[in-house]
Structures are given as C-alpha cells and as structure tokens.
Structure 1
Amino acid sequence: MAAEESRYLLGGPAPGSDRRVRNEKLYLATFAAVLGPLSFGFVLGYSSPVIPELRKISDPELRLDSNQASWFGSVVTLGAAAGGILGGYLVDKVGRKLSLMLCSVPYVFGYIVIISAQNVWMLYFGRMLTGLASGITSLVVPVYISEVSHPKVRGMLGSCVQLMVVTGILGAYIAGLILKWRWLAVLCSFPSCIMLFFMSFMPETPRFLLNQNKRSEAIAALRFLRGPHADHEWECTQIEASVQEEGLNLSEFKNPSIYRPLLIGVSLMFFQQVTGINAFMFYAETIFEDANFKDSRMASVVVGSIQVCFTAVAALIIDKTGRKVLLYISGFALGWGPVPWLVISEIFPLKARGISSGACVLTNWVMAFLVTKEFNDLVGFLTSYGTFWLFSAFCCLNVTFTAFYVPETKGQTLEQIEAYFRRS
C-alpha cells in the first residue's frame, strides 16, 4: 500500500481512480487561475502599440512627450510593486481564491479610467491600477497553482503562468494593429471579468483550508481536484503533517529554512528583470521604429509570437528536464521567464509563503520599474550596443547563480521541498 500511495503522491493514479477525470478538474482550476496572468500580459503589452499612437495624437492634453511616454510605460510597475505587498497580505488573510477574485476590480476600474481619460494624469492613474492588479496576480496565481497541483504536473501547470503572460502581450500587440487605444483598453478588460466568473466556481487550495482548520472543506477541495476515487484522507494527512498553526514572527527569519529560500527567491526575481526583458517588451514598437524597421508593429508581433512558442515548449518539458536545466539556457522564454515564478511558488514554507512571495514580487517590480524607466537614459549613456551588452552580462551571472544556489525541485511535493530547507 505504501508504494501505491507513493506513486499517487508523485502524480500517478491512486488505485481504482479515474486519472483523466481528476486531471480535467485540476486543469479547469488552472485555466480559471491563469486568466489572471493573461490579464497581466495585456497590461504589459498595452503600452507598446499605444505609446506611438499617443505621441502623435491631436489632443494636447493626452499627447505624450518622450518623458511622459517613459512614465506611461513604467508606472505600471510601481502599481505592481504595491500589488506585491498587498497580495502578500491578502493571500494569507483571505485566501488564494478570494485574492484572485478581488484583483479583478482594479483591472476593470483601471481600464475604465484609461478609456475615459481626459488628460495624461488619468492615463497614469489607470496604468497604476492595472499595475496594482498585475502585482497581486503575479503573486497569487503561482501560489494557487502550486498548491492545487500534484508534483508530476506542477511544473507544466506552473509554467502556464508565464505562457499566459506572453500570450496576453502578443494579444495586445496583434489587437493594437487594428484597434485604437481606447478600444484596445476595452478588449484588455475582458480576461479579468472572465476570471472573476470562473474562479467563483473553483475551490480554495487544500493547504490554505487546512491552515485555517477547515478539514472538511479541504477534503471537498481534494475531491474536486483529484476525483472521487483518490485517497483524499491520506493526502490530507500528508499536508497536515507540514502545516504549522502558529504564526510567523520576525525572529524566525534567522532560521535557514525561511531565510535561505527567501534569498533564493529574491535573487531570482532580481536576475529575471536585469536581463532587460521588460524594457524590450514595453517599448518593442518604439525600439523597432528607432532601428528603422519598415513595419515596427509587425516586428513586435513576431517577437511576441516567438515568446509564446518557446514558453509553451518550456511548459511541456519542464517536468522532464527539471528547473535548473532550463535556467542554464539563457533564453528568456525557455528559462528565465517561466522558471523563477514557478520556483518561488514551490520553495517557501506554508506559514511564510505570503510574506516571502510578497518580498519577491516587490523585488521583481521595483527592478522592472528601474529597468524600464531608465532604459532610455541607459541607451543615451551607454548607446544601444552598450545597454544590451550590459543585459547580456547579467544573463551570464544568472547562470552562475543558478549553478551554485538554486535547488532542483522537480518531482518533489511542497512538503518535501520544505523539509529539504529544514535539513540544509
């Protein structure tokens, strides 16, 4: 019986279970959650087709100069940094599911402000609100997916977060070919509304419910996610063994089981942004215009399509190759896009998951702001060649950091990963 339970824990079918049905429900929950990253991707991609249009618009109250354009592109990251802090609080206080449902509000309201904008400050405010929602989303969705998944498919499902982000970016690029900026904002508001509808039918994660002493609800969630024939009681017992009811206090950050994964997570987020990817994605069309491409909009669509294709490849192979192998591949879509978000959703102990994830998301978006806001200044100071050589140097440092400090988490339960940091 122990061998059968071990196979089940690693994602295999429990005796007598219908694996297809179990996975369908799990995939449905994942689909509902990743509509959040799709919304997040539309936020990131929105600025690329819109900035050239707003720089040429006839209305002087809305027309952007070079400095205003850089703020329009980068201010979303300040909202996202605040969203990371707020998300770290919400995810532990109200749960993973409700946090996702709540972040639909600033998404929609932010786009309403943009659509009705009469001046540049309204544009900034709308971008800040959509950024706030993006920050909450980027924290909560990886946590939700990692906690509802079983180890055999957790890597693939976790990688779908970044896949949907780049799909949203590509969607904004393509829609920007035919839609004016106000109508593009209308389109970008749809995914968050659909997410709110679907998430209302999805369960809370079993780990959060058990941490709230709601065992019967956790069993019901496992029955939804694993199917009626799986051994819900046994899995619930395994999770309960690692759930610690006492709260987290600051003195516990001296414990290696908490500070080591936190340092790894913060470093991964730092290195992800200093590759310069968001500077490129926010200003893709402007960059291609400056490079004298005949059709800068279509060039941006091509770049977005490549991102989607290779992120999909990463999602398909990550549970076979492991996390570290993909991080040795310097390409962003294959490694440094999806993997850091997956790793930070796996390595934190349950009681520190909210605050540690919040610190990582805050680091990510503060660095994103610095890189995107100062990109034009870097180009002016170092030239385009020097700026991209600098980003390349950070890519090399990424690989070195991965080799020495990032643990491999492939095929392990969240409880096993937590035990690894307690032992080390």
Structure 2
Amino acid sequence: MTPESDAEETQPLVRRPDGSAARGRRVFLAAFAAALGPLSFGFALGYSSPAIPSLRRAASPALRLSDSAASWFGAIVTLGAAAGGVLGGWLVDRAGRKLSLLLCSVPFVTGFAVITAAQNVWMLLGGRLLTGLACGVASLVAPVYISEIAYPAVRGLLGSCVQLMVVTGILLAYLAGWVVEWRWLAVLGCVAPTLMLLLMCNMPETPRFLLTQHKRQEAMEALQFLWGSEQGWEEPHMEVEQQDFQLALLRYPGIYKPFIIGISLMAFQQLSGVNAIMFYAETIFEEAKFKDSSLASVTVGVIQVLFTAVAALIMDRAGRRLLLVLSGVVMVFSMSAFGTYFKLTQGGPSNSSHADLLAPISAKPVDVNVGLAWLAVGSMCLFIAGFAVGWGPIPWLLMSEIFPLHVKGVATGVCVLTNWLMAFLVTKEFSSIMEILRPYGTFWLASAFCIFSVLFTLSFVPETKGRTLEQITAHFEGR
C-alpha cells in the first residue's frame, strides 16, 4: 500500500464537477435507475419468505408446495443467479453496461409474470429460475455501471447504494407479504424492473465503455450529461482495451492481484455465517417470547437497511478497509457469542441424536432462560448490523472498482459466480456441518472465518477511497 500522504500528493484534486445543479444531480439519477435492478433482485430474494407459507396453504393441490418443493422454491434462485453471473459477465463487455441492465428487466418481469399466472409447481419453479437469472445479471452489471459513471468523491456512496437497494427490496417483500397473498406479491415484483426499464432508456452508457468502443465524442457527451463537466476525468489506458481475456493475462500483477482479492472477498462474505444467522432468526425471536415469528424477518430487514444506509453515508469518509476491518471484528465477537448461546442451551450429552441437534430451538426440551435468549437476539442483531456496515456492501463495491476495463466482464462474472455458488453450497451443506460440529461448533467456525477475513483485509486489500478507477489499476500494476 502506498502511504496515504504519498497518495494525496500523486492523485489529482477531486472536486464536485462544475455545471448546473440539474447536471450535478444527473449522476445520482442514473445511479438510482441502475440500482432499481438490485432492488428487484432483493425483492426476488425476499419473495420466498412470505410466499412459501401462503403456497403451502394453496387451495389448488397442483400449486400446494410440499417440503421438498418449498426448499427448491427458495433455493433455485441461487442456481439461476449463478448462471446469470456468467451471462452478465459476457453481456457487460459485448452489449454494454446500459443495454445489459435493460435486458435483465425482461427475465425479472417474465419470471414474476409466470409466477402470477402459475397453474402448477413447475411454473412456480420456472418463474423463480427466471428471476434468479435476472438477479445474477443485475448483481454484476449494476455495480459496474455505477462505479463507472460516478466521480471518485461519491463512488463509495453510490456504490454502497447497490447493497442498500438489495436489503430494501428484501424488506419491501417482507412487508408486502403481510398485506397481499403470493400472486399479488408477484405482481408487485414487476414494478421495480419496469420502472428501471423506463428510466434507463433515458440514461447514457458509461463513458469508459464508450471509449473501449472508440466512441470518444459520445463518451464526452455522456460525461457532460452525468458530471456537468470533464473536470477530474482521467482517461483509461486504451492500448489493451480491445484484447479478449486470456488465461495468460493472469501472470500480470495488475490482473491476478485484483482477481484473488475479488474472489476471496466474495467467498469470505458467504463463509461469515450470515446465512446461518438468517436460518435461526425466527426461532431465536420465539425463544425471546416474540409471539409473531414473522416479526423476526421484518426486524432483521430493518436493521440491514438502517446500517447499510449508515455504511453508504460514511463510505467515502471512513474508507473501505477501515469499515471491512471494523465489520469483521464485530462479526467475530457476535458470532462467538451466538455460538456460546448454543453451547449453553444445547451443550448436553454427547450422545444426542442428529435429529435433536437439527430440530428447531423451540422444540428442544431445554428450558431456555429468557435472558439467555435475549443474549442470542442481541448477538444476532449485532452481527447483522456489523455485516451491513462492511461485509455486506463492500465486496460488491470493490468488485466494481479493482478490475481493469479489458478484463472487467470476465473478472466480475467469476466473482459473482463465486458468490452465488458459495451461497448455494453453504446453504445446502449447513445441516451436514451442524451434524458434525454441533450448532455451537458451526458458529464458532464461522467466527474463525471472520477472523481470517479481517487478517486478509489488513494484508491484501488496498484502500480505494478517493482514487479514480485508473489510479486503482495503476496501483495493482505498480505504476
């Protein structure tokens, strides 16, 4: 890492672009239009939580979900999203950032429309697979688009809004699920992608992508539209922009270093235990004597939205590294406390059956002290707050910042694929790990991964606050 004082000497002074107030706001409008993709993505993820109980009680036997069908209804989105990450990596370099966002609105709307019109379980699963495909594309393209249109002083704020919109979409699905049944909830899912389609039609392509297509005049016009001036703009190095990605490029530090960092951040995000925490949220709230277990989902959603918003507001002041480290430390302590809760409440004889270990907490014969249950609620809420401040939004933000233009499509595609496959594997193998390590061992293992994530951040992740994308590339290349 270059010392901060040296960085301040070498980087150009970054000011808010000159121009009219309307022009100054256009970059925020374009970022909002792109972030409607992650909002749709969040709504699709959150849809299954209120929809599954409703579909279990469906009047039509053809639509009624069995236990197996319900698990697939929730999980098939991650498989579709993994495929969408690969598709998005191909699209973003060939069709461009703007057109890729426009195209991903199609499977969003189509998927929710198929669910709305569903006459059997296969149509439900098909609709979920389509929305998952759109989630994968949106989770890749939206961060790239926003990072390339934002000037350095607000790139952290706007980039963090991607995760903010995801958790807002999840919360909206939970809240709407209290009011409407699953068909009308699917109709609501069509609103955000339709609005994104209408707004993005009036937004420009990113200047950096236009330059890779040798459209300098259009790039300058896009820059004027977004920033109001060309002040603070630094053109990318164009001599390699038209190269296709080849494995031989991985021998260059400017390529393999960000590759390792991007993939590792995505893996650590999923290994942190966030999915395990979500798995136990409702039962933990029940032990603390919350009668309405669905309150757990809404509470978790509200905490995520609030602290992701805090992260967005302080991202460009505190920096990425500091927030990742603080977030990781909070997650270490809260996950350790969570494991301790399980040790105290479930640390019975070693000959307990696997079925006992995996039964819902409230079904166990242990008389859990309410105060102890509140320890679990407190540590869970602290973990979610810590995750939302750092390890929730920042891996996606850094993914969009650290890769050079000529490998961005492939590299971000690999990162998104890693994230979704890890999410699927962690979720699928969670029960097996619980059987082997017992619940407290599982959460302590997640705490250990959080420690490794902090050490990795301190050792390898560069600070990108206030730097142009070209300066970040130059850092990895040693220029």
TM-score, length of structure 2 as denominator length: 0.81
Which letter does structure 2 place at the counterpart of 1:231?
E
The question of whether the paired residues in 2 share the 8 Å contact of 1:163 and 1:311 is answered with yes
Q: 1:399 aligns with which of 442, 454, 464?
A: 454
Cα gap change, 1:216 to 1:286, in 2 (>3 Å) = farther
What's the offset of the Cα at 1:301?
0.6
Q: 1:307 aligns with which of 289, 304, 308?
A: 304
1:325 aligns with 2:360: no
Query: Bigger radius of gyration, 1 or 2?
Result: 2
Residue 231 of structure 1: aligned partner = 230
What is the SS of the residue equivalent to 1:112? Answer: helix
What is the SS of the residue equivalent to 1:317? Answer: helix
Rounded to whole Å, the distance in 1 between the matches of 2:408 and 2:61 is 47
What's the offset of the Cα at 1:286?
7.4
Cα gap change, 1:7 to 1:23, in 2 (>3 Å) = farther
Cα gap change, 1:380 to 1:115, in 2 (>3 Å) = farther
The question of whether the paired residues in 1 share the 8 Å contact of 2:80 and 2:133 is answered with yes
Q: 1:12 aligns with which of 12, 15, 22?
A: 15
TM-score, length of structure 1 as denominator length: 0.91
Cα gap change, 1:280 to 1:41, in 2 (>3 Å) = farther
What's the offset of the Cα at 1:383?
4.6
The question of whether the paired residues in 1 share the 8 Å contact of 2:47 and 2:174 is answered with yes
Rounded to whole Å, the distance in 2 between the matches of 1:288 and 1:52 is 18
Q: Name structure 1 gaps, 5 residues minimum.
A: 1-5
Residue 66 of structure 1: aligned partner = 67
Residue 205 of structure 1: aligned partner = 206
Deviates more, 1:102-111 or 1:393-402: 393-402
What's the offset of the Cα at 1:281?
4.7
Which letter does structure 2 place at the counterpart of 1:23?
G
Rounded to whole Å, the distance in 1 between the matches of 2:65 and 2:140 is 31
What's the offset of the Cα at 1:7?
12
Q: Deviations over 1:225-274 (max 9, x none)?
A: 111xx236x83xx3144563331322112111101101110011111112
Cα gap change, 1:279 to 1:37, in 2 (>3 Å) = farther
Deviates more, 1:385-394 or 1:68-77: 385-394
Rounded to whole Å, the distance in 2 between the matches of 1:202 and 1:8 is 29
Rounded to whole Å, the distance in 2 between the matches of 1:42 and 1:117 is 19
Which letter does structure 2 place at the counterpart of 1:239?
E
Cα gap change, 1:119 to 1:389, in 2 (>3 Å) = farther
Cα gap change, 1:179 to 1:283, in 2 (>3 Å) = farther
CA-based RMSD: 2.3
Q: Deviations over 1:126-169 (max 9, x none)?
A: 11110100000000011001100111110010000000000000
Q: 1:269 aligns with which of 266, 271, 283?
A: 266
Rounded to whole Å, the distance in 1 between the matches of 2:259 and 2:105 is 28
The question of whether the paired residues in 1 share the 8 Å contact of 2:212 and 2:238 is answered with no
What's the offset of the Cα at 1:287?
7.3
Query: What is the number of residues matched between the two proteins?
Result: 412
1:298 aligns with 2:295: yes
What's the offset of the Cα at 1:290?
8.9
1:299-378 equivalences under 5 Å are 299-328=296-325, 329-330=327-328, 331-378=386-433
Rounded to whole Å, the distance in 2 between the matches of 1:59 and 1:289 is 31
Cα gap change, 1:13 to 1:243, in 2 (>3 Å) = farther
1:251 aligns with 2:248: yes
What is the SS of the residue equivalent to 2:178? Answer: coil
What's the offset of the Cα at 1:120?
2.0
Which letter does structure 1 place at the counterpart of 2:32?
F
What is the SS of the residue equivalent to 1:393? Answer: helix
Rounded to whole Å, the distance in 2 between the matches of 1:286 and 1:58 is 28
The question of whether the paired residues in 1 share the 8 Å contact of 2:241 and 2:405 is answered with no
1:107 aligns with 2:108: yes
What is the SS of the residue equivalent to 1:141? Answer: helix
Rounded to whole Å, the distance in 2 between the matches of 1:296 and 1:243 is 58
What's the offset of the Cα at 1:374?
3.3
Deviates more, 1:180-189 or 1:205-214: 180-189
What's the offset of the Cα at 1:119?
2.2
Deviates more, 1:404-413 or 1:305-314: 404-413
Residue 40 of structure 1: aligned partner = 41
Q: Deviations over 1:260-319 (max 9, x none)?
A: 101110011111112232455588557756987411112211110000000000000011
Deviates more, 1:54-63 or 1:20-29: 54-63
Q: Deviations over 1:63-117 (max 9, x none)?
A: 2233322221111000000000000000000100000000000001111111122
Q: Deviations over 1:338-380 (max 9, x none)?
A: 0000001000011000000000000000011112233344445
Q: Deviations over 1:180-234 (max 9, x none)?
A: 111111111110000000000000000000000001100110010111xx236x8
Which letter does structure 1 place at the counterpart of 2:133?
L
Rounded to whole Å, the distance in 2 between the matches of 1:275 and 1:65 is 30
Residue 122 of structure 1: aligned partner = 123
Deviates more, 1:244-253 or 1:152-161: 244-253
Which letter does structure 1 place at the counterpart of 2:273?
G
Rounded to whole Å, the distance in 1 between the matches of 2:174 and 2:86 is 29
Rounded to whole Å, the distance in 2 between the matches of 1:70 and 1:290 is 24
Residue 260 of structure 1: aligned partner = 257
What is the SS of the residue equivalent to 1:57? Answer: coil
Rounded to whole Å, the distance in 1 between the matches of 2:418 and 2:208 is 26
What is the SS of the residue equivalent to 2:137? Answer: helix
1:29 aligns with 2:10: no
Residue 97 of structure 1: aligned partner = 98
Which letter does structure 1 place at the counterpart of 2:108?
Y
Residue 174 of structure 2: aligned partner = 173
Identity of aligned residues (%): 61
What is the SS of the residue equivalent to 2:179? Answer: coil
